[in-house]
Amino acid sequence: GIQVEQSPPDLILQEGANSTLRCNFSDSVNNLQWFHQNPWGQLINLFYIPSGTKQNGRLSATTVATERYSLLYISSSQTTDSGVYFCAVLPYGQNFVFGPGTRLSVLP
Amino acid sequence: DTGVSQNPRHKITKRGQNVTFRCDPISEHNRLYWYRQTLGQGPEFLTYFQNEAQLEKSRLLSDRFSAERPKGSFSTLEIQRTEQGDSAMYLCASSLFMRDTEAFFGQGTRLTVV
């Protein structure tokens, strides 16, 4: 089946710093989503981005489907950005497959 | 519509007992997914439905696990004869499977088997 990798596995930043999270996937996909998992465990939708670039406030994402990767950019990070960020892909005709996540800690 | 709803939020049960979780998807969504997440891991696929049909089950879904989606609306996930290894967060998601396949997750049900 499809493999999903995320890097880095852990990231520690000072408040105000910028960061880039990466998601690589091994096969063509119909959908790619980025999620932030809050401290209570709920997965919060950040971006639905099977291809192209989107921006939402301090966050933006780019997916290059032909090269099978996606990037999540966080600018001017805040302590509330801390948590685990997951990339999930939907291969054609199959179920969502999650990456292992990137654990982000933003220090005040 | 307030999104995907899961109940209960927390469940503590003794080993060997049966438990049932419920998921109410976003009303017009025809796909419903169940995932399981253990501490420090990403969510793992269990099963999914399109309307009332169960289209795929993971090998993780042993014969102690059963899921239903009668009438293509809410879904239930039952675990029989629970084991300590079943302790996890159980997540439900729904999507409108047409052109747009964005999925939305519920708050999850955290199961602890003692």
Kindly tell me if the per-residue pLDDT of A70 is higher than 90. yes
> For B64-83, how does the pLDDT look when each residue is reduced to its tens digit (9 = 90+)?
999 999 988 999 999 999 99
Residues whose CB is less than 8 angstroms from the CB of residue B112 and which lie 6 or more positions away in sequence, other chains included = B10, B11, B12, B13, B87
Q: Can you tell me the distance from the alpha carbon of B70 to that of B48, in angstroms, rounded to the nearest whole number?
A: 13
Amino acid (1-letter code) at residue A73? Y
Residue to test with chain A: of B26, B36, B37, most A Cβ within 10 A? B37
Whole-number average pLDDT of chain A = 94
The reported pLDDT for the residue numbered B1 is: 53
Q: Which residue has the higher pLDDT, A56 or B62?
A: A56
Nearest to B6 by CA among A86, A34, A43, A96: A43
- Chain B residue numbers touching A35 (CB-CB < 8 A): 105
B104 touches A at CB < 8 Å:
yes
The answer to which of A5-14, A35-44, B85-94 has the lowest mean pLDDT is A35-44
Distance from CA of B7 to the nearest CA of A (A): 13
Kindly tell me if the per-residue pLDDT of B7 is higher than 90. yes
The reported pLDDT for the residue numbered A30 is: 85
3-state helix/strand/coil string of chain B:
CCCCEEECCEEEECCCCCEEEEEECCCCCCEEEEEEECCCCCCEEEEEEECCEEEEECCCCCCCEEEECHHHCCEEEEECCCCHHHCEEEEEEEECCCCCCCEEECCCEEEEEC
